[in-house]
Amino acid sequence: MFLGHYALALGAKRIAPAVSLGTLFLACQFADLLWPTLLVLGLERVEIDPGNTVVTPLNFVSYPYSHSLVMLLIWSALFAGAYSVLRRGRTIAAVTVGTLVFSHYVLDVIMHRPDMPITISGTQKIGLGLWNYPGTTLALESALFIAGAVVYMGATRERDRAGRIGLYALIATLVAIYFAALYGPPPPSSDAVAMAGHLSWLFVFWAYWVDRHRGPRRSS
């Protein structure tokens, strides 16, 4: 899943308006931001395997530190803890950030074939395999993403042109990358996957920047 993760982050702005969209992006995509680095370090493994599921040409051979149930619970607790230490007293915000980190596991389990580990060293893996149904995948992710974008735009308003154009450009870029991955050729190698994966950090910084150019929209 790609757009669906960002959709939850965008929508979470309504629950926790004080949290920057950059932090919300960091939380929802933490597993996928950690993963490429662990690939480079050789701690996790992916193979190019067109047809692994209909939607993705990747075989997620091993990714227990970034994508197991146990580790996502731990990352989630660490994120919530770190947030409440750094920003004292914002319990709802801290819980929202922690929940977003864990939501990555739930959404990925829906999409992936049974390759999502439960524990770090165990062999039990789960996955509902929605990626074998491209039409449903596309409909679900698009609906989530549109809803998330609408909620974010309703919860915030632009302070200046950058707050409007920057947001539209961010949304358009995420959609373009999603469709390029969906309909484009498979990546040439697992090294290329790891390299491209690191580019996701760009969206985190981009979201921090956009969020600074937008303020809360007060309902009248």
Q: Which residues of the chain form contacts with Zn ion (CB under 5 A)? A: 31-32, 108
Q: Which is nearer to Zn ion, 148 or 166 (CB)?
A: 148
Write down the least CB distance from residue 105 to Zn ion, Å: 8
Cα distance between the two ends of the chain: 36
Q: Which is nearer to Zn ion, 31 or 39 (CB)?
A: 31
Q: How many degrees, rounded to 5, is the angle at CA 31 between CA 30 and CA 35?
A: 115
Q: Which is nearer to Zn ion, 49 or 158 (CB)?
A: 49
- State which amino acid sits at residue 130: L
Identify the three-state secondary structure at position 53: coil
CA distance 92 to 141: 26
Q: Which is nearer to Zn ion, 34 or 153 (CB)?
A: 34
CA–CA distance from 79 to each of 89, 95, 105 (Å)?
15, 9, 15
3-state helix, strand, coil in the chain (%, to 5): 65, 10, 25
CA–CA distance from 191 to each of 45, 179, 185 (Å)?
10, 21, 16
Write down the least CB distance from residue 134 to Zn ion, Å: 18
Write down the least CB distance from residue 43 to Zn ion, Å: 16
Q: Which is nearer to Zn ion, 13 or 112 (CB)?
A: 112
Write down the least CB distance from residue 31 to Zn ion, Å: 5
Longest dimension (CA), the chain: 54
CA distance 73 to 99: 9
Q: Which is nearer to Zn ion, 46 or 155 (CB)?
A: 46
Neighbours of 121 (CB within 10 A): 8
